[in-house]
A and B are shown apart, each in its own frame.
Chain A
Amino acid sequence: MGWGSTRGPAQPPRSLPLPFSAAGRKGVRVSARTWAQGWGRRTVIGVPYLFLVLFFSLPFLVVLKISVSEALGVRFQDLLSWDDGTLTLRLKFSNYIYLTTDWLYLGTYLKSIGFATLNTLICLAIGYPFAYFMARSPAAWRPALLMLVSLPFWTSYLLRVYAWKGLLDDNGIVNNLLRWLHLIDAPIKMMHTAFSMMVGMVYTYLPFMILPVYANLVKMDLRLLEAAADLGSTPLKTFWLVTVRLSIPGIVAGSMLVLIPSVGEYVIPELLGGTSTYMIGQVLWDEFFKNIDWSMASAVAVSMVVLILIPLAVFNHYQTRGVGRGSGT
């Protein structure tokens, strides 16, 4: 690179005036350097931190505020008001009361969590064996197999969801194929049902399950399996007691990556689902864009965050515990 030989080991910063005593120069240089490092450190941490606080967390506080504000036309009333020496704090909880009493919201919430859980379970059932067979395939194949799983990530998610519309429609490719094979006479109704939505969900989220589980399984020490076999364990028992047990952190990571975003999914139920699959993300969207009820949309968002933050905290807990255990051994 050509910079190593020309630069002396201890060159003073160029901006310093020359007639300094050696001791004085050294002192200045050290403090200048630590100051520069402190400044560098502050920039490195501060800039992204400030950006994310400003454009990610602060907006949440705005949502929280609007969810308890009274709408005055297009504006919202201030929460705190000062009148005749009285400070009043007005919080409007009617949105939240509505959320917990109206079956539209409560039912949709439960249904969303149900669909997301079902999605996670199906992804686990398909993805775990998939990741297992990937991890146990010949080492030379693994990079290619891994690449093939992550490649769909690079293509548009919107277009991949749209592709299922063409496959599952009444006049879609699957129905046409079945009719051409004379297996059916009338088209099977698949589009705009819970089935089509679940297919789209599993399709979209499957790689999120496969990748963390694979990363975990591929690291496993296979001598443990030999040890278990030597100690008289059957293959099935070894699989359950050693492989599955050791891969729990991968399963937890994958499940959270599938579960949390799929609770608030909007595009998939909108494109592939029907009236029976109305989800909470769609409720938020419709409150905002169709009913133009900003404070109700905000209340839905806040309650979603509360519902999502709890599993997230559990996830973090598991993850840090896993890391601690890993570094301890």
Chain B
Amino acid sequence: MNSLIGRVWLATGYAFLYIPIATLIVFSFNESKMVTLWSGFSLHWYGEIVHDRELITGFVTSLKIALMTATASIVLGTLAAFALVRYRNFVGRTAFIAHINAPLVVPEVITGLSLLLFYVACARLFGIFGERGIVTIWIGHTSICTCYAAVVIQSRLLGMDKSLEEAAMNLGCRPFQVFVLVTLPMIAQSLVSAWLLTFTISLDDVVTTSFLSGPGVSTLPIVIFARARLGLNPTVNAVATLSVAVVSIGVLTGSLWMARSERRRAEEQAAAYREGALQVARRTAQASS
């Protein structure tokens, strides 16, 4: 009885989560311009987006910004995660934590507005950020995405076995070497997931971008938002289907790769422990003989 209710509840919930995405995909293959009435299978709208200059330029701009944002965010996010996990007491730690958490919940209209007004003030006082475009959007996205990256990497660092780093330190590694040779390979997966997450957040952002972009610079979400506001548009469905396809492939490969490297790491670790135990046993035998 209980499990029946549970199954029905879960099934309904998943249907609620997935039906909208499914309808987007189905109607992208629709022949007619009507997005909601099925009239026959066609790839017409995919041909249309290939020739749609506005969409293509927007996509290229978005891609550039997303690549730059994801890369900058995981660098800053790794530093921030280390600061949070490894340095338990420094001046202003509480304020630092607030700086990591706040961008995750502050409404984007506020982030966008404040950063734009900051740019305007900078342009007046120092003559920088006068021209708004890819760089100004990049900084805005990075200030939000750094926090997401920090949260993802932090949870990995917290769950990490510190004894391996200590062993490397005892064997004479300098802190930077320990980081590159031991820590980095161990947190590599979380770096990949943080990179992918920040990449998609940046690729998807519309509100902050609207504030920070200048004339002539529009990203894919801005183009889509402008069309979606006007009404239903089959090219938007086609774009949606392509993005769902890319995301599914990306997430699938990503998770397969992660599972594989997790397994390999576990094997290596087990081998190292076996080797260590063997040496200890040998030494004890030598000492006793």
Q: Which of A's residues lie within 8 Å of B, judged by CB?
A: 1, 3-4, 7-11, 13, 33, 36-37, 40-41, 43-45, 47-49, 51-53, 55-60, 62-63, 66, 75, 126, 129-130, 132-134, 136-137, 145, 147-149, 151-167, 169, 171-173, 176, 203, 206-207, 256-257, 260-261, 263-267, 270-271, 281, 284-285, 288-289, 294, 297-298, 301, 304-305, 308, 312, 316
Contact = CB atoms under 8 A, between A and B. Distances in A.
B232 A165 contact: yes
Interface residues of B, number: 91
Contact of A301 (B16, B109, B171, B173): B109
A260 B105 contact: yes
B36 A169 contact: yes
B20 A55 contact: no
A171 B37 CA distance: 8
A308 B105 contact: yes
A131 B206 CA distance: 30
Q: Binding site of B, secondary structure by majority: helix, strand, loop or mixed?
A: helix
29 contacts: A33-B174, A44-B86, A45-B96, A48-B76, A51-B142, A62-B114, A154-B251, A155-B240, A155-B244, A158-B206, A158-B228, A159-B239, A161-B228, A163-B21, A164-B20, A165-B228, A171-B34, A171-B36, A171-B37, A203-B17, A203-B20, A264-B108, A266-B108, A266-B109, A267-B207, A270-B229, A281-B107, A301-B113, A305-B110
Given A55-B139, A267-B225, A297 B17 contact: no
A264 B112 CA distance: 12
Nearest to B167: A4
Contact of A43 (B6, B24, B79, B244): B79
B232 A59 contact: no
A133 to B, nearest CB: 4
A211 to B, nearest CB: 12
B117 A59 contact: yes
A260 B109 CA distance: 13
Interface SS of chain A: helix
Contacts of A151: 251
Given A48-B150, A281-B109, A130 B20 contact: no
B159 interface: no
Contacts of A148: 14, 17
B185 to A, nearest CB: 8
Given A55-B143, A263-B107, A155 B21 contact: yes
Contacts of A129: 9
B105 A256 contact: yes
Interface in B224-253: 224-225, 228-229, 231-232, 236-237, 239-240, 243-244, 247, 250-251
Given A56-B102, A156-B221, A51 B143 contact: yes
A53 B98 CA distance: 11
A242 to B, nearest CB: 16
Contacts of A304: 107, 110
A190 B114 CA distance: 35
A269 B102 CA distance: 23
B58 to A, nearest CB: 12
A267 B206 contact: yes
B113 A130 contact: no
A180 B17 CA distance: 24
B106 A152 contact: no
A145 B10 CA distance: 9
Contacts of A52: 99-100, 103, 143, 146-147
Contacts of A9: 170-172
A147 B251 CA distance: 10
Nearest to A311: B105
B23 interface: yes
Given A62-B118, A264-B108, 5 more contacts: A133-B9, A154-B196, A158-B204, A173-B27, A271-B228
A249 to B, nearest CB: 16
Contacts of A261: 105, 107
A62 B112 CA distance: 12
Nearest to A42: B90
Contact of B224 (A4, A132, A162, A172): A162
Nearest to A53: B99
B37 to A, nearest CB: 6
A316 B203 CA distance: 30
Contact of A154 (B82, B100, B124, B200): B200
